[in-house]
């Protein structure tokens, strides 16, 4: 290829490319590098502008030492390198980098070909965190199960409290396993709704009953219209969504307070709203609540895996509906599920 064609390639490739001159100090250690040439994708991949002629340390004084060391080594040895590394000073990006020397022995010119892989690295981290948390959440009940069983074995006697604890922990594990299974199936598009004619008021009443059994510190009130609100929905899946919303309402309002479930006919939608008087949700977290693995109170004791609302959203959307949250921090949150509704029939 002639030079012009290489130029077209250089200008149009979506990988970032820069040619740098590595700068060494008197002792022969690499201390900085100067940009000789960069392609248009460079700016997009790094967020740095007008770099040609400038040194990296003037552009990003906090750039990690390892970058200078690696390019210095490439210039010195002529051995190309390929690596993935973090650049905190460049908005916390991660780069997949290929660096090789241009010219022979003694040349200080290095070509760096790179791609911003931050999204991939973050997704992998999140996935690893999730697996770690999920295994922790599964391991905890197992510990309780074993301890209780061993206690009974030692005493050689029936123990009602131990049995109750075993059932409670088994239920907890079952719920978690069901969530994990749903997560996988939903992502693979393998969940099928079993639509039957149901009255939304019944779905709400049954779910409220279930949560009342667990939530001793909360009053759960339900407000329904006088007339039935019927549609062709999957009552088990809608029950699951409501159980999740009510479970969260309990979990995130430790101070107690009323939880209100409202069933409303609203134009072309049948809605169920679950309102609590808990701590509420910061405005910036609201749009992200329904994302996979998202937790607003990251890492706090008692928070879950961040998949409940994601699964709920997928199930509601499978019904052609929508789900959203509103909240006044300090005063509570309201989660609303809206389903397409064709009116009375």
Bridge partners for 330 per DSSP: none
- Binding of residue 192 to ligand ADP (CB under 6 A): no
**Least distance between ligand ADP and beta carbon 314 (Å):** 11
**Least distance between ligand ADP and beta carbon 293 (Å):** 8
Structure tokens, 184: 């996988």
Q: Which is nearer to ligand ADP, 261 or 281 (CB)?
A: 281
- Binding of residue 294 to ligand ADP (CB under 6 A): yes
Structure tokens, 114: 């790179």
- Binding of residue 260 to ligand ADP (CB under 6 A): no
Per DSSP bridges, beta strands 322-328 and 332-340 are antiparallel
Structure tokens, 303: 């928070």
- Binding of residue 295 to ligand ADP (CB under 6 A): yes
At which residue do the structure tokens 């460049």 appear? 90
Structure tokens, 331: 């005063």
Q: Which is nearer to ligand ADP, 45 or 253 (CB)?
A: 253
Dihedral sign of CA atoms 280, 282, 285, 287 in order? positive
Q: Which is nearer to ligand ADP, 86 or 326 (CB)?
A: 326
Helical H segments across 29-159, by residue range: 40-46, 56-59, 65-77, 118-155
- Binding of residue 130 to ligand ADP (CB under 6 A): no
Size, binding site for ligand ADP by CB under 6 A: 21
- Binding of residue 220 to ligand ADP (CB under 6 A): no
Asked if residues 126 and 293 have their Cβ atoms less than 8 Å apart, the reply is yes
**Least distance between ligand ADP and beta carbon 331 (Å):** 11
H or E, element range at 182? helix 160-187
Touching ligand ADP, residues 273-292 (CB under 6 A): 276, 278-279, 281, 289
- Binding of residue 304 to ligand ADP (CB under 6 A): yes
State which of residues 259, 333, 336, 338 lies at the interface with ligand ADP (CB under 6 A): 333
Q: Cα torsion for 56, 59, 62, 64, to the nearest 10°?
A: -30
- Binding of residue 23 to ligand ADP (CB under 6 A): no
> Could you give the maximum distance between any two Cα atoms of the chain, in Å?
88
**Least distance between ligand ADP and beta carbon 250 (Å):** 8
State which of residues 16, 72, 308, 321 lies at the interface with ligand ADP (CB under 6 A): 308
Dihedral sign of CA atoms 94, 96, 102, 107 in order? positive
Bridge partners for 220 per DSSP: 259
- Binding of residue 215 to ligand ADP (CB under 6 A): no
Residue nearest to ligand ADP according to CB distances in the complex: 304
Question: d(Cα 6, Cα 277) in Å, to the nearest integer?
Answer: 64
Question: d(Cα 276, Cα 284) in Å, to the nearest integer?
Answer: 19
- Binding of residue 248 to ligand ADP (CB under 6 A): yes
In eight-state DSSP terms, residue 287 is G
Contact window for ligand ADP (CB under 6 A) among 70-78, 118-126, 201-209, 244-252: 244-252
At which residue do the structure tokens 């389903």 appear? 339
Binding mask 90-129 for ligand ADP (x = CB under 6 A): ----------------------------------------
Asked if residues 270 and 341 have their Cβ atoms less than 8 Å apart, the reply is yes
Q: Which is nearer to ligand ADP, 237 or 295 (CB)?
A: 295
- Binding of residue 297 to ligand ADP (CB under 6 A): yes
**Least distance between ligand ADP and beta carbon 135 (Å):** 15
- Binding of residue 30 to ligand ADP (CB under 6 A): no
CA 35 to the chain's CA centroid: 37
Binding site for ligand ADP (CB under 6 A): 248-249, 252, 276, 278-279, 281, 289, 294-297, 303-310, 333
């Amino acid at each position: 290829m002639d030079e012009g064609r290489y130029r077209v390639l250089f200008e149009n490739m979506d990988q970032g490319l820069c040619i740098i001159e590595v700068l060494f100090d008197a002792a022969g250690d690499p201390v900085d590098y100067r940009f000789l040439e960069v392609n248009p994708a460079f700016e997009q991949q790094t967020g740095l502008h007008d770099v040609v002629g400038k040194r990296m340390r003037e552009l990003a004084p906090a750039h990690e030492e390892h970058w200078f060391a690696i390019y210095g080594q490439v210039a010195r040895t002529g051995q190309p390198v390929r690596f993935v590394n973090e650049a905190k000073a460049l908005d916390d990006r991660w780069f997949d980098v290929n660096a090789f020397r241009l010219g022979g022995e003694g040349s200080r010119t290095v070509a760096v070909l790179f791609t911003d892989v931050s999204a991939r690295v973050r997704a992998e981290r999140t996935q690893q965190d999730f697996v770690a948390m999920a295994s922790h959440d599964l391991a905890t009940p197992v510990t309780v199960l074993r301890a209780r069983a061993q206690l009974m074995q030692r005493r050689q006697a029936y123990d009602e409290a131990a049995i109750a604890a075993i059932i409670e922990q088994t239920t907890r594990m079952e719920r978690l396993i069901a969530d994990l299974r749903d997560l996988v199936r939903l992502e693979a598009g393998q969940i099928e709704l079993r639509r039957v004619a149901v009255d939304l008021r019944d779905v709400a009443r049954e779910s409220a009953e279930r949560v009342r059994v667990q939530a001793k510190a909360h009053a759960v009130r339900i407000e329904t219209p006088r007339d039935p609100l019927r549609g062709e929905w999957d009552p088990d899946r809608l029950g699951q969504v409501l159980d999740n919303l009510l479970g969260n309402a309990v979990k995130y309002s430790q101070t107690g307070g009323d939880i209100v479930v409202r069933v409303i006919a609203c134009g072309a939608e049948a809605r169920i709203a679950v309102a609590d008087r808990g701590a509420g949700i910061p405005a910036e977290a609201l749009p992200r609540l329904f994302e996979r693995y998202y937790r607003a109170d990251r890492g706090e004791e008692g928070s879950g895996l961040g998949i409940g609302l994601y699964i709920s959203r997928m199930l509601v959307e499978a019904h052609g509906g929508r789900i959203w949250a509103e909240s006044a921090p300090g005063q509570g949150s309201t989660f609303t599920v809206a389903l397409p509704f064709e009116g009375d029939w």
